[in-house]
Amino acid sequence: MTVSLRQLFISRFSLWLILAVAGGYFVYNLNNYIKYGIDLVGGTYVTLQVQLDKAHETELVERMQDAVDVLKKAGKTLPKSKRIEAGIAQLAFDDVKDANIAFEVLSAVIKGVSVDRKETTVTFTLTSETKARIDREAVDSNINALEMRVNAFGVGETLVARHGTDKIIVELPNIHNTQQAKAMIGRAALLEIKLVEDDSPNEQDLLDRYGGSAPEGFVVVPEHRGDRSHFYLVPAYSDLTGRLLKSAHSSLGGDTGAEPVVNFEFKKEGAAKFYDLTANNIDRKLAIVLDGEVKCAPVVNTALSSSGMISGAFTASEAQELAMLLRAGSFVAPVTFEEERNIGATLGQESIRKGLIACIIGMLLLLGFIVITYKMAGLLGYIVLLFNLLLSLVLLAGMQATLTLPGIAGLLLTIGMAIDASILIFERMRDEIAAGVPLRRAIELGFSGAMTVILDSNITSLLMAIVLYKFGTGPIQGFAATQIVGIIATLVTALWMQRSFFTFATDVLGVTKMRI
C-alpha cells in the first residue's frame, strides 16, 4: 500500500513529529527549565543555632499575659508591673494580700509553670517538661518557617533539617554568596503591635522625661525614615504579634495611595485582641514594630477588627519580600549563624558527566537488547521509551522539582522499569501471532491482555513513591518525585503512545506482518 506525504502528515504522525521537535527544543534548553540540587551545582551549606532561651522567654510572656487576663476575669487586683528576669516572670503587686490572692488564683489555673510568691511579688518559672516541649516545637516551627522562606524565594526543594537538639542545617543550591544566603534565611520578621506611651525625635530627650532610662516594663524603639529618626516608648512585651497573622500581601497605599505597603490580616484570636486594643485607645498612637524597629505609628481613629497596614518607604520588591516573610512566619526563637560553607560545583559537574556516560551506555545496551529480542516492535518500543524520558523531564519542570543525584537515579530506575510494560505487551502479541491471529487483532489482544498487569505493578510502585515523597525529606523526596513522574509517564506512553504507534503502522502504513 502506497502512502502519500499528505496522508502521512494529516495522520497522527504529524503530532509525534511536533512533539519530537518541541521535545528536542526543551532538552536543548533544559537548564532553563530544571533546577539542580546542591550535589550537582554546588551552593551554600549553613548551620543555624536556635536560641532556645528566647523561646522560653516568649512562652513566659504569653503565660504572663494569660495570668493578667485570668486575674481580670476573676475580678482580682491586677499587678502594678510585670517583667521577666533570668527566666523568671514576675508580677508585682502593691501589698502582700493582693499578691497572695493572685498566687492562689494562678496556682490553680496556670499550667506548665511553677508558681511562687515572695512578699508582694508572684513569680512563675517554666517546668522542665514545658521547656523540653518548647525546645522541640521551637526547632520544628523554625524549620517550617525556613522551608516556606527558601522555597518562596525560588530555591526549590531545599534541604532544611534538624541537627542535634538546637541546630538546623540548610542547603541552598546554586547560591554561592554567603551574604545572599544570610539575607535569604536569617531575617527574624518579628511583627509586634504596641501602644505608644510617648515619643520624641530625640532618644535622650525621651529618656530624660523618665529620669534618664525607660520605665520598668517599657523599651525605646526607633523609627528610621531616610536620614531622620524618631523614637517611641512602648511596652517591652506584646501579645499581639505576627504569630497571630492569617495572611499578608503587598499593595499600593499609604498617605499618597501610590506607595508600596504591606496589608495584613489577623486570625480570629488576633482579630479579637486587635479590636480590644484599638477600641480602648482611640486617638492614641499604635506602633507597628518589625524586628525591633518601628515601621509606622498611625493614630487610632476607630476600632479595627482584623486587618491593618504597614508603610515605611518600601520599594515594591521590599514590600513583596516583607509580605512573603510574614506569610512564612517569624522564627519562634531567633537563630544565629554557626557555620557557613560554600560548596563548589566541581563535584556536581563530575557527577553529571559520569551520570550522562552511564545513561548513554545504559540506553545503548537497552536499545541493543530490545531490538535483538523483539525486532521492529522493539525499535518502536525504544522510541516510546525516549518519549517517556522526555515526558518525565517535562513533568519535573512543571512541578518545579529540583533534580539531584538520587533524583537522577530514580529517573533512570523508572525508565529502566518502563521497558517491562513493553515486554509484557510484546510477549502477549508474540503468543497471539504464533497462534495465527492477524497482526491488527494481535495488537489489540496484546495491549488489553497486558493492561491489568501493567496497571497493578505501576500503581503499587506509585503508592510507595507517594509515601516516600510524603514522609521523606531532601534527597529521598527528590528520588520519590522522579519515580512518581516516571510512573505516570510510563502509563501514558506505554498504554497510549505505544498502541498508537502500532495501530498507525497497521491502519495507515498498511503493515500486515511484523517480526516480534
The string of pLDDT tens digits covering residues 419-475 is: 888 888 888 888 888 888 888 888 888 888 888 888 888 888 888 888 888 777 666
Does residue 14 fall inside a structural domain? yes
Same domain, residue pair 366 and 287: no
Per DSSP, the three-state class of 291 is coil
Same domain, residue pair 403 and 316: no
Same domain, residue pair 373 and 433: yes
Same domain, residue pair 348 and 310: no
Same domain, residue pair 275 and 414: no
Per DSSP, the three-state class of 508 is coil
Per-residue confidence of the chain (516 residues) as pLDDT tens digits? 455 555 555 556 677 777 778 877 777 777 777 777 777 777 777 888 888 888 888 888 888 888 888 888 888 888 888 888 888 888 889 888 888 988 888 888 778 888 888 889 988 888 888 888 888 888 887 887 777 666 654 445 567 888 888 888 887 777 766 776 676 676 666 778 889 999 999 989 898 898 888 888 888 999 887 778 899 999 887 777 777 777 777 887 766 667 787 787 878 878 888 888 888 888 888 888 877 888 878 888 777 777 777 666 667 777 776 676 666 556 667 788 887 777 666 556 676 677 768 778 878 888 888 888 888 888 888 888 888 888 888 887 777 677 777 777 777 777 777 888 888 888 888 888 888 888 888 888 888 888 888 888 888 888 888 888 877 766 677 778 888 888 888 888 888 888 888 888 787 777 788 777
CB atoms within 10 A of CB 338: 14
What residue type is assigned to position 104 of the chain?
A: E
Domain of 231, CATH number, reads 3.30.1360.200
Q: What is the count of structural domains for the chain?
A: 2
Does residue 157 fall inside a structural domain? no
Same domain, residue pair 227 and 355: no
pLDDT at residue 214, rounded to an integer: 87
End-to-end, the C-alpha distance of the chain in Å comes to 21
pLDDT at residue 153, rounded to an integer: 45
Same domain, residue pair 361 and 444: yes
**End position of a domain, from candidates 331, 352, 369:** 331
Selection from 223, 218, 214 nearest residue 238 by Cα: 218
Same domain, residue pair 487 and 360: yes
Does residue 401 fall inside a structural domain? yes
Same domain, residue pair 306 and 355: no
Does residue 145 fall inside a structural domain? no
Domain that holds residue 432: 5-37+344-507
Same domain, residue pair 327 and 348: no
Cell (9 digits) for 416:
529502566
pLDDT at residue 231, rounded to an integer: 93
CB half-sphere exposure, 17, CA atoms < 13 A? 7
Domain of 416, CATH number, reads 1.20.1640.10
CA distance linking residue 380 with residue 289, whole number of Å:
66
Same domain, residue pair 259 and 367: no
447 with 425: CB under 8 angstroms? yes
Does residue 101 fall inside a structural domain? no
Residues 6+ apart with CB under 8 A from 318: 260
Same domain, residue pair 310 and 417: no
- H-helix or E-strand spanning residue 293: strand 293-296
pLDDT at residue 312, rounded to an integer: 61
pLDDT at residue 154, rounded to an integer: 43
Does residue 138 fall inside a structural domain? no
Does residue 249 fall inside a structural domain? yes
pLDDT at residue 183, rounded to an integer: 67
CA distance linking residue 61 with residue 82, whole number of Å:
10
The residue length of the chain stands at 516
pLDDT at residue 220, rounded to an integer: 92
Does residue 317 fall inside a structural domain? yes
CA distance linking residue 317 with residue 20, whole number of Å:
40
CA distance linking residue 302 with residue 281, whole number of Å:
9
CA distance linking residue 312 with residue 19, whole number of Å:
51
